[in-house]
Amino acid sequence: MSTQTPMVDLKAQYLRIKNDIDAAMARVIDTTAFIKGPDCTAFEKEFAAFCGAEACVGVANGTDALIYALRAYGVGPGDEVVTVANTFIATGEAIFLNGAKPVFVDVDDVTYTLDPNKLEAAITKKTKVIIPVHLYGHPCAMEAINRIAAAHGIPVLEDSAQGHAATLNGKRAGALGHAACFSFYPGKNLGAYGDAGAVVSNDKEFIAKVRQIANHGGGTNKYDNVIVGTNSRLDTLQAAILRAKLPHLQQWTDERRERAALYSKLLDGVPGLITPKEGPGAKSAWHLYTVRTPKRDSLIEELKKHGISTAVHYPRPIHLQPAMAPAGGKVGDLPVSEGLSKEVVCLPLYPELPLEEVERIAGVVRAFLKA
């Protein structure tokens, strides 16, 4: 057995930019500006600019970004929010936590993201927001989604927790809908050294509203509490770390892209294996490189024998999670999402992954599925 290959190597990334990260942390500690320090404001400005949006508010994590963005839209009991089940549970949790009901639509079987052809049928008079999810870093078919949403006067909130630096027709995720939620969980393409998140939008009033909710419902003064809010602020240490990383994000995305392209080239034509494809005008952020095969479980075992880590995102579509049962989902509702959950497996992919490792991993996959 050769070396153990992880799904992601955060230490390798740290070593590339160690001096900048260490200096950023030292700066915050030196000034003791732990809460709402200058790095928070600077990061919000820089991240909004990166996305091509007007404004950004940092929050404690990506789940809170979704929860408080939905609250800022006024989502509450009796409302419906349309989204996909082929996502991480947080997307559904944020809807329930606002007292609303998720309405799940299926994904298309090429990009595995919200199928715009199925959107119209899911919209009712109760629909308050639509949340497409840029799963695996692949931007959703936002033009079609925005068109349908606009016809009904419904805002589109991107779940871009996996979408940093993805583009659609040259526009980055974060500027593809009315607003977008990001996670900076450590393993994300732009990851903090703990939990962190953000909401981005061109609508400055909307961002101000999220900021108010996420900081104790504050007005202009600290002890001016206008609405019942909460504490979901972006930590200054995390903001400083994210600022040190942001200037590298495009290069890291290009490096992911190079590795994804190599996998796809080497895995082309393997019997029964479907490699990920990009939709029209889309450039994935390649958060995950996900292949599909009916032999998924035995392939995982084989890769393990060769010291290669894998992950399944996700083994169960969330409409079938017990936690989402009040939404009434049942087996057979979403055939594409349900089929994917039985067949997808993510291979290691990160900017520092040696190209020879991609070759070795692809070789193991080829040899196993051809046998």
Ligand X SMILES: Cc1ncc(COP(=O)(O)O)c(C=O)c1O
User: Is residue 80 helix, strand or coil?
Assistant: strand
What residue ranges bind ligand X (CB under 6 A)? 61-63, 87-88, 90-91, 133, 159, 161-162, 183, 185, 195, 197
Please report, for residues 48, 88, 207, the alpha-carbon distance to residue 76 in angstroms, rounded to integers and kept in the order given: 28, 21, 19
Contacts of 253 (CB under 8 A, 6+ apart): 164, 165, 189, 285, 286
Nearer to ligand X, 273 or 347 (CB): 347
Q: How far is the CB of 353 from ligand X (least distance, A)?
A: 20
Least distance CB 63 / ligand X (angstroms)? 3
Per the DSSP assignment, residues forming a β-bridge with 181 are 159, 199
Kindly tell me which of 65 and 358 has the beta carbon lying closer to ligand X: 65
In the bound complex, what is the minimum distance in angstroms from residue 87's beta carbon to ligand X? 5
| Residue (90 or 345) nearer to ligand X, CB | 90
- Minimum distance of ligand X from residue 134's CB (angstroms): 8
Closest approach of ligand X to the CB of residue 162, in Å: 5
* Residues 128/79, Cβ–Cβ less than 8 Å: yes
Q: Say if CB 140 and CB 112 are below 8 A apart.
A: no
Q: Report the distance separating Cα 26 and Cα 40, nearest Å.
A: 15
Question: Rounded to the nearest 5 degrees, what angle is found at the Cα of 111, between the Cα atoms of 317 and 371?
Answer: 85
Which CB, 68 or 185, lies closer to ligand X? 185
The enclosing H or E element of 157 equals: strand 157-159
Nearer to ligand X, 159 or 343 (CB): 159
Cβ-based nearer residue to ligand X, 183 or 293: 183
Q: Are 199 and 184 in contact (CB under 8 A)?
A: no
Q: How far is the CB of 144 from ligand X (least distance, A)?
A: 20
Helix crossing, 296-305 with 355-370: angle to 10°?
130
Phi-psi region of 283 (alpha: psi -120 to 50; beta: other; left: phi over 0): beta
* In contact, 56 and 246? CB cutoff 8 Å: no
Smallest gap from Cβ 183 to ligand X, in A, equals 3
Closest Cα partner for 234 from 54, 89, 28?
Answer: 28
Q: Which is nearer to ligand X, 160 or 212 (CB)?
A: 160
Query: Are 211 and 57 spatial neighbours (Cβ–Cβ below 8 Å)?
Result: yes
Judged by beta carbon, residue 103 or residue 161, the one nearer ligand X is 161
Least Å distance between CB 219 and ligand X? 27
Three-state secondary structure call for residue 110: coil
Residue nearest to ligand X (CB): 62
- How many CB atoms are located within 10 Å of the residue 52 CB? 16
